[in-house]
Structure formats: structure tokens, C-alpha cells
């Protein structure tokens, strides 16, 4: 690919791609390719100019230029999202440009009679919407807009009427643009995060394949806690499936042979074999968009209050206009009041503030599924943490496998990995990874795997009953025994590790020691949350008392509970609600799902179980718990911005009304100042809430 350097300085250069026309898709491909190139820190491609701005490290300049020279759009294997933010921005940038251009052409090039005819024609939709509202018995902002335009035209002020409609049009484009962008962002967040799936082989076994290699007609197996990656029909088994991502309904649905299954839903309990009907990407995105647009999740109570207040103020504005005209007989003064309404600014700035905050959260690798969860996060006074994979490292490791009863250590690890790989969780991943490190092949031998939430796994291999899980599950529920003569060995197991117990035919066969180091930032994050108004930090874990006590001491939580079941976590949050607290729940496992659902703002770790991510309201990166602090700063900043917008809108527009009543501002001036202030407040509402020096 031919290119030339337009400008460069130390560590930076701007390169022009010598191409007659660059599409949005090509710009996305080139930008993704540059961002993935070794040594490049930042890259931005402008499809309009064909320029690429690159920031790089060290001596990468020559290798970048050589690679660019050999780059070809046709041969690159870079894949980009099907629905591009670049394409969306391009669409609305063009829309805004032509809206402004048409206004300038009309204002300065059209003869006066044609300008007036054009203004009347443009006013028709406003009058139609107002007529519909009045026919429905409503006095809303459409009535006020139509009245403003009509009074201006009746008084012969066609330029004023045109200006009002021009500014209203800009507001409509901005609102639609911001809303659509939020829809795209949320749809991307809710898109599938599934790379591989278990596929049935002709011989009756299972093989793990990339989801993009699955074809229509293939049979895939989905088990408890896993996301269904493709549309299809159940051909074997039965399960309870959570379809909230498609229908918005939180209750799970029973699926049996013959039932339709949709991509993005999650198996809460059971196991099903699905015959694939649609390959990756078919229809999923559009269904997400439709669900989000119909959902009330985007609406925070602050947005609802703003919309309600805006509608309530319309009759008062109309009343003030009529009263001023009746008392003064001055139509100009009355019209100046009519040009000012609180509705536009309130109804536009509040949603834009919320949607902009959600966008900003995305830049910190935080996905928020609705505005009300930002509000709840800001108002919460308690936070509940799961331990494993949350306060402790997201990547625990197997420290040792302790065999019992003369069993073979590597054979037991191989068998444990065979069972655990079906239920992705940080502990399960640790077992599977350890088997991989030792080169142990764990082909499918079990007849059926059953996952018991918060307890463990039950299966059978060659007629032998296998139980793998917690002490409570293996010894109390399943009544397994320690082999004779090995009780001392069992009691000498080191306390500093988490224990995963494995029993075969009712006897303990192995204890897998899991090294689950505490996250370095955990104690710091808890201190910061305390300083930001979270007065109760609680840890709840299914792990043993000794492990929970040690972690609680190191992290500085206010309270901890050990050996708890999923329903106990949810019950604790319900009790907090009864005490008048709003509660945040942070977890990553299947057993955290009830508590995530019960909380006011459920936070899931991105690397956690699919069902946890599905139910959670907020998803954070597994890399750093400081995202929780960032979310608190961001949500509090949003609430302060909303309060400031309220004060500014109400005070400034009241000032304009007063100036109109006193005759200081004519209607054209009040209209200009009102609409200019609305746009200014909306533009400010789109700016970042967190300055660089306040970001966590």
C-alpha cells in the first residue's frame, strides 16, 4: 500500500494513505491492524482524509513504515465489528452538516417569498404533532414548539420561526445521534462473548470447536451456567434457560426437545443438545437493539423526573404567556415568554448526561446496561464481595494434587479437568490449565455431568461414581469417607490454600490445593470505597472459615461470612434493603447470580461465568478492581451534573421569562438565548465527567 508521511515528531507521525476513497469499513480494518502492531501505542484513522495518526514507542518507526508498505486491505485477516461506530458517526455528521447547509442556503440565497413559503412548509409537521397531542388531551412540549413557531409566523417574524425550527432540528439530531450511539455501545456490550463450544461428533463424542466453525445442522452441547452461542432447536435433554437478554423477562423458561433456543440466552440449570439453525451473527444484533429500545433499563429515575417536570411546566409557560398578554396587551412581550420553555433543555440534557456517562464508563472497560444502575451505584451505602475470582486473583493456580487411597495423582487431575472444563469458573479454569501444563489429555469418558450450584460436580466414569467440589458437598451431602489410615494426612493439609475435594465411589480420592492469591489492589480499593461513602463492605464466600478469616483480615472488609450458599447471599441483600440500604454486589460465579439479581447494582467480572455476566447490571474488566472506584466517581459525578443541569436550566430560563415580561428582551432574542443555552448545556453534558487527575 502506497503512503507518505505528512508530519512527524518524536514518537508521533501522521501518514497519508494514497487511496482515492476509503470506506468506513476499510478505516476500521486499518485502525484495528495498527493498534495490534507491536510498538504502536495509539492509532487513529480518518476515512475522510485518508490520514492515519500514529503514536509509537522506541525505534518502531522503520518497522511500522515497512509493514504499512506491505499492508493490503484484501489480504488482511483483521475482523471488525459488523456494526461500526465510525459508520454511525459518519451518518450523523453528514446529517448535521446538511441541516446547517440548508439553513445557510435558505437564509442567504433564497428570495424572501420563497423563504417564507419554505418556513410555512417546515412548520406543518410541528403543527401536526401539536394537534395530535391536543386531540389526546395532552399539553406537552410539541404544543409549546408549535405555539412558538405559529406566533412568530402570525406576527410576520418568519426568520424567527425559521431559527426556532433550525435549533429544534439540531436538538433532535443530537438527541437521536447520542441515543443511537448508546444503543450501538450497549448492543456491543451484550453481544456474545463465546469463543468455543462443545460439538457432537458422528461417533457420539464431543469436541471443542471455535464458534465460527459451527455450521447449520451441527449439534452443540450447552450445560449449566453456559451461554447459548447460536440459534437452534433443542433435540436432547431439558434445561431452565434465562432469556432476559432477548425478552427482558428475568424468570427462566423450561426448554425441552422441540423448543426453540436463541443465541445469547443462558442455561441456568440442566443440559441440552441443540441443533444449530443459524450460524454466528445471524439476527442476534437486531434482536438486542429491539430489546434495548423497548426496555426501561436506560431510564434512571432522574431522567423520569426530568421528563415529568418538563411536561408539568408546559401549562405554566402557556398560562404565563396568556396572562402577560391579557395584562399588558403587548403581543411581543407575550411571545417572548412563549419562546422560552423548560422542556427542551430538561428532556434533552438529562438523557444525554446519562448516555454520555455510560459511554465514558466504556472507555474505562466498564459496561453499564442502563442509566438507573449508575444512579443506584451512586446512592449505594453497602457493597458485598464474593471472594474467589473477585477479591482474590482472577487466575488461581493449582499448587498441588494430594492423592488418597493409593490413587494415581495425574490420573485424578486428568479426570478432574475432564469434568471441570464444562463449567468455566476461575477454580475450574485453574484445574484445566494445570492438566494442560502437565500434558494430560482429558478426553470425554464420563457418561453424564451434573453441576450442583455452589456445591460441585457429579458424574460417572467406567461405572465409578465421581464427586468433585466443596467439603460440604463431598462429605456432608454425599457422605463420602476418608480412606482408612489417612485421617492424619487429611488433617495435615496446609491451611493457606483453598481445597477442592474429589471422591470416587464414596471415598476421598484427592484434594486439589488451589493457590488463590489476593489481588494486590484489593485492600486499597476497599479503603477508597470507604472514603467515597460506602460505609459497609462485606465479603461472602462459600470457602472455609479459616480462609475467609485470613482474606477478610488482609483486605480490611467490615464483615465476612464463610460457607454461605447462593440463597444466603441473596437473603442478606434483601435484609439490607429492609434496613433501608442500597446494595452493590460484586461476583463472578454461577453461585453469585441470585445475589447479583437481588442487588440494586450487580457487578460481574468479565472473565466470570456467562450467567453472572448476563444477570449483572455492570460488567468490569478482570484486570483491576479499581474499576469499582472509577464507577463510584463516575456515578457521583453524573448525579452532580444532573443536579447542576436542573439548577442552570430552571434559573436561566426563569431569567429569560422575566426579561421578556419586563420588555427587555424581544421574542427573537429570548428564542435565540433559550435555544443556544439548551445546546450549550447538552454539549457540556456530553463531556467527560472525570478529569485526568481524578480517574482511578
Cell numbers given for 529: 470505597
Which residues are registered as beta bridge partners of 518? 392
Q: Which CA distances in Å does 194 have to 13, 32, 36, 227, 263? A: 37, 20, 21, 7, 10
pLDDT: which is higher, 591 or 16: 16
- Residue 502: its pLDDT value, please? 93
**Dihedral sign, Cα of residue 46, residue 50, residue 53, residue 58:** positive
From 111-115, 204-208, 344-348, 520-524, the region with the lowest mean pLDDT: 344-348
In a domain, 629, yes or no: no
Measured distance CA(599)–CA(422) in Å, rounded: 28
Q: Do 70 and 141 have their domain in common? A: no
Per DSSP, the three-state class of 398 is strand
- Residue 534 clears pLDDT 70, i.e. is over it: yes
Q: Do 20 and 124 have their domain in common? A: no
Q: Among 33-37, 284-288, 311-315, 629-633, which range has the highest average pLDDT? A: 629-633
Dihedral in degrees, nearest 10, Cα atoms 495, 496, 501, 506: -10
Measured distance CA(293)–CA(307) in Å, rounded: 17
Measured distance CA(323)–CA(426) in Å, rounded: 69
- Residue 296: its pLDDT value, please? 44
pLDDT digits (tens, 9 = 90+) for 420-455: 877 666 778 889 889 888 888 766 655 566 666 556
Cell numbers given for 533: 461513602
- Residue 582: its pLDDT value, please? 94
Q: Helices 112-135 and 141-154, interaxial angle, to 10°?
A: 150
Q: Do 222 and 157 have their domain in common? A: no
Q: What is the DSSP letter of 241?
A: E
- Residue 513: its pLDDT value, please? 92
Q: Do 309 and 384 have their domain in common? A: no
- Residue 170 clears pLDDT 90, i.e. is over it: no
- Residue 230: its pLDDT value, please? 82
In a domain, 631, yes or no: no
Q: Contact at 8 Å (CB) between 666 and 336?
A: yes
In a domain, 76, yes or no: yes
Q: Do 182 and 241 have their domain in common? A: no
- Residue 567: its pLDDT value, please? 83
How much of the chain, in percent, has pLDDT values that exceed 90? 22
Q: Contact at 8 Å (CB) between 121 and 79?
A: no
Q: Do 525 and 497 have their domain in common? A: no
| Residue 14's pLDDT band (cuts 50, 70, 90) | very high
Distance in Å from the first CA to the final CA of the chain:
41
Q: What is the DSSP letter of 370?
A: -
Q: Do 305 and 182 have their domain in common? A: yes
Q: Do 128 and 182 have their domain in common? A: yes
Helix (H) or strand (E) holding 27: helix 24-35
From the list 240, 371, 355, 350, the residue with the least C-alpha distance to 295 is 371
- Residue 282 clears pLDDT 50, i.e. is over it: no
In a domain, 85, yes or no: no
CATH code for the domain in which residue 551 is found:
3.40.50.1000
Range of the domain at 33: 3-80
Report the alpha-carbon angle 92-98-99, nearest 5.
Answer: 85
Q: Do 412 and 556 have their domain in common? A: no
Per DSSP, the three-state class of 59 is coil
From 18-22, 93-97, 305-309, 400-404, the region with the lowest mean pLDDT: 305-309
pLDDT digits (tens, 9 = 90+) for 242-261: 776 555 555 678 888 988 88
pLDDT digits (tens, 9 = 90+) for 109-134: 899 999 999 999 999 999 999 999 88
CA 508 to chain centroid, in Å, comes to: 43
pLDDT digits (tens, 9 = 90+) for 339-394: 676 766 776 777 778 878 887 887 888 888 778 889 899 999 999 999 877 888 76
Per DSSP (E only), the strands in 224-319 are 232-242, 253-255, 260-261, 266-276
- Residue 144 clears pLDDT 90, i.e. is over it: no
- Residue 189 clears pLDDT 70, i.e. is over it: no
Per DSSP, the three-state class of 675 is helix
The average pLDDT across 325-342 equals: 73
Q: Cβ contacts of residue 329 below 8 Å, gap of 6+?
A: none
CATH code for the domain in which residue 278 is found:
2.70.150.10
Total structural domains within the chain: 5
Q: Do 506 and 587 have their domain in common? A: no
In a domain, 86, yes or no: no
From the list 613, 602, 617, the residue with the least C-alpha distance to 385 is 602
From 312-326, 437-451, 469-483, the region with the lowest mean pLDDT: 437-451
The average pLDDT across 478-482 equals: 90
- Residue 98: its pLDDT value, please? 94
pLDDT digits (tens, 9 = 90+) for 27-61: 888 988 898 888 898 899 998 889 999 999 878 88
From the list 294, 305, 338, 303, the residue with the least C-alpha distance to 320 is 338
Q: Do 603 and 526 have their domain in common? A: yes
Q: Contact at 8 Å (CB) between 365 and 622?
A: no
Per DSSP, the three-state class of 636 is helix
CATH code for the domain in which residue 19 is found:
3.30.70.100
Q: Cβ contacts of residue 321 below 8 Å, gap of 6+?
A: 147, 334, 335, 337, 338
pLDDT digits (tens, 9 = 90+) for 497-516: 888 899 999 999 999 998 87
Q: Do 20 and 146 have their domain in common? A: no
Q: Show which of 590, 622, 654 is a domain's final residue.
A: 622
pLDDT: which is higher, 81 or 275: 275
- Residue 440: its pLDDT value, please? 84
- Residue 622: its pLDDT value, please? 67
From the list 579, 580, 631, the residue with the least C-alpha distance to 603 is 631
Cell numbers given for 339: 419562546
pLDDT digits (tens, 9 = 90+) for 586-597: 988 777 888 888
- Residue 694 clears pLDDT 60, i.e. is over it: no
Q: Among 96-105, 227-236, 359-368, 493-502, which range has the highest average pLDDT? A: 96-105
Which residues are registered as beta bridge partners of 469? 456, 501
Amino acid at each position: 500500500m502506497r503512503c507518505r508521511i505528512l508530519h512527524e515528531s518524536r514518537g508521533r507521525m501522521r501518514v497519508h494513505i494514497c487511496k482515492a476513497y476509503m470506506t468506513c469499513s476499510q478505516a476500521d480494518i486499518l485502525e484495528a491492524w495498527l493498534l495490534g502492531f507491536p510498538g504502536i501505542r495509539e492509532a487513529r484513522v480518518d476515512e475522510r482524509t485518508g490520514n492515519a495518526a500514529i503514536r509509537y514507542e522506541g525505534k518502531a518507526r522503520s518497522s511500522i513504515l515497512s509493514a504499512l508498505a506491505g499492508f493490503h486491505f484484501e489480504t488482511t485477516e483483521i475482523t471488525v465489528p459488523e456494526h461500526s461506530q465510525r459508520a454511525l458517526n459518519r451518518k450523523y455528521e453528514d446529517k448535521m452538516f446538511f441541516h446547517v447547509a440548508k439553513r445557510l442556503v435558505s437564509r442567504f440565497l433564497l428570495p424572501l417569498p420563497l423563504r417564507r413559503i419554505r418556513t410555512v412548509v417546515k412548520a406543518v409537521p410541528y403543527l401536526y404533532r401539536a394537534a395530535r397531542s391536543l386531540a389526546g388531551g395532552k399539553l406537552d412540549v410539541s404544543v409549546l414548539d408549535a405555539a412558538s413557531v405559529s406566533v412568530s409566523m402570525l406576527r410576520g417574524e418568519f426568520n424567527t420561526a425559521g431559527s426556532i425550527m433550525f435549533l429544534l432540528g439540531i436538538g433532535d439530531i443530537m438527541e437521536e445521534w447520542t441515543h443511537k450511539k448508546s444503543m450501538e455501545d450497549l448492543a456491543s456490550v451484550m453481544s456474545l462473548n463465546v469463543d468455543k463450544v462443545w460439538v457432537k461428533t458422528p461417533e457420539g463424542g464431543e469436541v471443542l470447536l471455535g464458534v465460527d466453525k459451527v455450521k447449520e445442522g451441527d449439534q452443540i452441547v450447552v450445560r449449566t451456567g453456559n451461554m447459548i452461542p447460536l440459534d437452534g432447536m433443542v433435540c436432547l435433554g431439558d434445561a431452565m434457560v434465562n432469556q432476559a437478554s432477548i425478552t427482558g423477562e428475568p424468570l427462566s423458561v423450561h426448554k425441552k426437545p422441540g423448543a426453540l433456543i436463541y443465541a445469547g440466552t443462558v442455561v441456568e440449570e440442566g443440559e441440552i443438545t441443540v441443533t444449530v439453525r443459524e450460524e454466528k451473527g445471524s439476527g442476534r444484533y437486531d434482536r438486542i437493539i429491539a430489546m434495548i429500545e423497548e426496555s426501561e433499563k436506560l431510564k434512571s429515575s432522574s431522567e423520569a423526573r426530568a421528563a415529568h417536570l418538563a411536561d408539568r411546566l408546559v401549562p405554566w409557560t402557556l398560562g404565563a404567556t396568556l396572562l402577560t398578554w391579557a395584562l399588558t396587551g403587548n403581543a411581543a412581550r407575550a411571545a417572548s415568554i412563549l419562546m422560552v420553555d423548560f422542556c427542551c433543555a430538561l428532556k434533552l440534557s438529562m438523557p444525554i448526561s446519562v448516555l454520555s456517562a455510560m459511554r465514558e464508563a466504556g472507555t474505562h472497560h466498564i459496561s453499564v446496561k442502563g442509566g438507573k444502575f449508575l444512579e443506584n451505584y451512586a446512592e449505594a451505602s453497602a457493597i458485598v464481595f464474593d471472594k474467589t475470582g473477585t477479591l482474590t486473583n482472577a487466575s488461581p493456580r493449582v499448587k498441588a494434587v494430594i492423592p488418597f487411597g493409593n490413587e494415581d495423582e495425574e490420573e485424578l487431575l486428568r479426570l478432574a479437568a475432564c469434568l471441570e472444563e464444562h463449567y468455566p469458573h476461575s477454580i475450574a479454569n485453574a484445574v484445566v490449565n494445570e492438566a494442560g501444563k502437565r500434558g494430560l489429555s482429558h478426553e470425554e469418558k464420563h457418561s453424564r455431568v451434573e453441576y450442583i450450584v455452589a456445591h460441585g460436580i457429579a458424574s460417572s466414569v467406567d461405572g465409578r461414581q465421581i464427586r468433585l467440589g466443596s467439603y460440604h458437598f463431598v462429605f456432608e451431602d454425599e457422605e463420602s469417607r476418608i480412606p482408612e489410615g489417612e485421617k492424619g494426612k487429611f488433617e495435615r493439609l496446609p491451611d493457606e490454600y483453598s481445597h477442592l475435594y474429589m471422591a470416587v465411589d464414596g471415598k476421598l480420592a484427592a484434594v486439589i490445593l488451589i493457590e488463590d492469591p489476593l489481588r494486590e489492589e484489593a485492600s486499597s480499593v476497599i479503603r477508597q470505597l470507604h472514603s467515597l461513602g460506602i460505609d459497609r463492605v462485606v465479603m461472602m464466600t462459600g470457602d472455609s472459615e479459616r480462609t475467609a478469616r485470613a482474606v477478610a483480615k488482609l483486605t480490611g472488609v467490615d464483615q465476612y461470612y464463610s460457607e454461605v450458599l447462593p440463597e444466603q447471599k441473596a437473603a442478606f441483600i434483601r435484609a439490607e434493603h429492609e434496613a433501608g440500604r442500597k446494595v452493590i454486589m460484586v461476583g463472578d460465579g454461577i453461585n453469585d447470580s441470585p445475589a447479583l439479581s437481588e442487588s440494586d447494582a450487580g457487578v460481574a467480572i468479565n472473565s466470570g461465568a456467562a450467567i453472572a455476566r448476563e444477570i449483572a447490571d455492570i460488567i468490569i474488566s478482570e484486570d483491576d478492581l479499581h474499576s469499582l472506584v472509577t464507577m463510584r466517581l463516575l456515578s457521583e459525578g453524573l448525579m452532580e451534573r444532573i443536579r447542576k443541569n436542573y439548577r442552570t436550566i430552571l434559573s436561566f430560563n426563569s431569567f429569560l421569562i422575566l426579561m421578556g415580561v419586563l420588555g427587555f428582551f424581544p421574542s427573537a432574542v429570548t428564542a435565540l438565548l433559550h435555544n443556544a443555552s439548551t445546546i450549550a448545556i447538552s454539549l457540556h453534558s456530553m463531556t467527560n465527567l472525570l478529569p485526568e487527575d481524578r480517574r482511578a
